Structure 1
C-alpha cells in the first residue's frame, strides 16, 4: 500500500489522507438522489483501488442507496490488510415504500443499523447528515454525544450545518468535524463557515470538490444532455444554462493548468479547495478503479499560489 501524507481531523486522533473515498454514487440507481445505475463489482474495485493507493478513509451515509452503500463498503473492506477509517451519516430515514424523510429523533436506532450494515463494532466518525428539522438539532446532537460516551462511535461531526447551528451544538458537546459542500463553483462557505471552523478546531471534510463531475474535465454539454433519467444532476441548476457554459469554461481552465503537471482538471479542482487552511481533506467519489486512478494525484498535489491566482481571477471575472 502506498503511504500518503495525512492531516489531523479537528479535535480527534484521526490522521486522515488529504482525500477520502466518497461512497454516494455507489449506492446505486434505485433511490431519490441516485447518480444512475451502478455496478456493485465496480464499486468494490473502486474502493479497493483507493485503499491500495493509500487512501485511509471512506465517507458514506445510511441513506446512500437506502443502506446499500454501507453494505458495499463493508464488502469492499472485508479483506483489507489495513482497515480504513469509516465515516457515515444519519438523519435521513426511509420507509418500506423507499420514501425518504428527515428526522433527528431516531439517531440511536440509525447508528445500530449502520453498525450492522458496515459490520463494525464502532463507527470512526458519525455525522448528522442535515440539520433538518432545525428544531431537533439539540435533541439530535445530545443523542450523538451519548453514542460517543457509549463507545459506539469514536468521534461526532456535522454536515451542512450553519455557523448558528454549530454554535448550538457546541453548547452540548464538542464538534469534531463539519462536512460542507465546497467547490470553485460553490464557495458559499468561504465567508463565515470555514473561518469559524478554523477558529474552533473543527476539521472540515468538504464534499463535491469537483461539483458532482462538472469540474472533472470530462463533462460536456452532450454528456449532460444524455444523463440517465434517474441521475439527480439532470435537474441541478449548475448543469443548466446559462451556468453550464460558464462552468465548463472553468473546467477548461483547470484542464489547462492540469496539463502543465500531467494531471486532470479534477485534481486541480480538488487542490483549489485544499488550498483553504480550514479544509482538512476532500471527499472524492469514485465509481470505478480507473476514476480513482485519475484523482489520486490530488492526495499529494499542491497548487502554486500563481496558478491559484489564475483560477481566482477567472472566478472574479465570470462568477
Structure 2
C-alpha cells in the first residue's frame, strides 16, 4: 500500500490502520462483547501481512488488556510498525469505573504503564484520548511535550478535541495528529476542524469510519436488537429506533453504488472517508483475519466525482429521516 505523511511528523502511515478497541474484550464498560485473544493476535498478524504498518490502541481498552495482546502479537515485528496509544482515561485495580485525568503525574504514570504493557521502549504516537477534564488540557498537553523531549514518545496527538481545544493545545506545542470520529453518519469535522488541521499541518486519523459496523453492509435491525449488554453499542442511539431503521435502509441504497463499482459496502465507506485530502488515514477495527483482508484494499480505491455525488444524494435523503 501507498503511505501518507502524518501532519508535520516523519511518520508514514498506510491509509488503513488496525484499531484494537474490541481486542480489549467485553469485561469493561465500553467493551464490544467477548473476544478471544488468539483471534485478536491472528487479526494483528493478518493486518501486518496485508501491508498495514500501524496499530492504534489505548490504555483504557479492556483496562490495559488490548495493549498486552498487542505486545504478544508484535513480538519480533516491532521495528516494522508504528504504535499509537492514548492517555487520559484511568482506573483503579479491578474496578470497572473509569476516571478522567490529564494531570502531569497521572500521564507520567500512564506512559510508563503503557510502555511496559506494550513491551516497547518508545511510543510512536501518544494521544490524549479525550479533552477531559477541560481545565486540565494545558497541563496534559505540556506533559506530552515533556515526554517527547524525554524520548519516551516520538510525536503527540489528540483525540476528540473541538476547534477551541485544538487551538489551546497548538499554542503550547505542535500537534502531529487529531483523531476524531468521521463517517458518512458523523460529518461534524467538515465544518471547521478539517480546514484548521490543513492550515496547521495536523494529520487527521479518522476513527469509526464504518460507524461501529453500521456502514459495513452486514448490520441488520435484528442484529442490533440482539446486541448483548456487554457490547457498548446496545446503549448507543444509532443502534435503536428510529435511527436504526433509517440507517439500514440508507445502507441498502449505498450498496447499489458499491456494487456498481465492484466493491463492498465496507470498502465504499472507507474510500469515502479517505477521499478528503485532510484525512491521512482511517482506523479499522477487526476481530479476525478475514475482516482485514476485505477492508485493507479500500486504501487504494478512488471514488469519482459522480460517485461521490451519488453518495451525497443518499446521505441527504437519510438526513431528512432522522
For the criterion TM > 0.5, the same-fold answer is: yes
2:38 and 2:250 map into 1 onto residues whose CA distance is 33
For residues 4-40 of structure 1, what are the alpha-carbon distances to aligned partners after superposition, in whole Å with 9 as ceiling and x for unaligned?
1010000000010001000001100000000000011
Cα offset for 1:82?
5.4
In the alignment, structure 1 residue 48 sits paired with structure 2 residue 61: no
In the alignment, structure 1 residue 166 sits paired with structure 2 residue 166: yes
Residue 204 of structure 2: aligned partner: 204
Q: Residues 258 and 268 of structure 1 are in contact (CA less than 8 Å); yes or no, is this contact kept in structure 2?
A: yes
Task: Choose 306-315 or 62-71, whichever is displaced more.
Answer: 306-315
Residue 100 of structure 2: aligned partner: 102
TM-score scaled by structure 2?
0.96
Residue 229 of structure 2: aligned partner: 229
Cα offset for 1:180?
0.1
1:260 and 1:70 map into 2 onto residues whose CA distance is 40
1:81 and 1:40 map into 2 onto residues whose CA distance is 19
Task: Choose 247-256 or 69-78, whichever is displaced more.
Answer: 247-256
Q: Residues 254 and 314 of structure 2 are in contact (CA less than 8 Å); yes or no, is this contact kept in structure 1?
A: no
Task: Choose 128-137 or 80-89, whichever is displaced more.
Answer: 80-89
Residue 118 of structure 1: aligned partner: 118
Give the alignment partner of residue 3 of structure 2, picking from 1, 6, 21.
6
Task: Choose 270-279 or 155-164, whichever is displaced more.
Answer: 270-279
Cα offset for 1:261?
3.6
Residue 133 of structure 1: aligned partner: 133
Residue 269 of structure 1: aligned partner: 269
Cα offset for 1:77?
0.8
In the alignment, structure 1 residue 78 sits paired with structure 2 residue 79: no
Cα offset for 1:74?
1.1
Task: Tell me which stretches of 4 or more aligned residues in structure 1 moved more than 3 Å.
Answer: none
Uncovered stretches (5+) of structure 2, i.e. residues with no partner: none
> Any idea what SS the aligned residue of 1:175 has?
coil
- Tell me the C-alpha RMSD between the 2 structures: 1.1
Cα offset for 1:241?
1.3
1:296 and 1:274 map into 2 onto residues whose CA distance is 12
- Structure-to-structure mapping, 1:174-213, within 5 angstroms: 174-213=174-213
Residue 251 of structure 2: aligned partner: 251
TM-score scaled by structure 1?
0.97
Residue 241 of structure 2: aligned partner: 241
For residues 258-313 of structure 1, what are the alpha-carbon distances to aligned partners after superposition, in whole Å with 9 as ceiling and x for unaligned?
22343211111111111112111000000000111121111211122111111111
> Any idea what SS the aligned residue of 2:90 has?
strand
In the alignment, structure 1 residue 39 sits paired with structure 2 residue 36: yes
Residue 30 of structure 1: aligned partner: 27
Uncovered stretches (5+) of structure 1, i.e. residues with no partner: none
Residue 280 of structure 1: aligned partner: 280
Cα offset for 1:99?
1.4
Residue 290 of structure 1: aligned partner: 290
Residue 65 of structure 2: aligned partner: 68
Residue 145 of structure 2: aligned partner: 145
Q: Residues 274 and 299 of structure 2 are in contact (CA less than 8 Å); yes or no, is this contact kept in structure 1?
A: no
Cα offset for 1:98?
2.8
Task: Choose 155-164 or 261-270, whichever is displaced more.
Answer: 261-270
Task: Choose 71-80 or 49-58, whichever is displaced more.
Answer: 71-80
Q: How many residues align?
A: 316
Cα offset for 1:232?
0.6
1:294 and 1:82 map into 2 onto residues whose CA distance is 25
Residue 220 of structure 1: aligned partner: 220
Cα offset for 1:250?
2.5
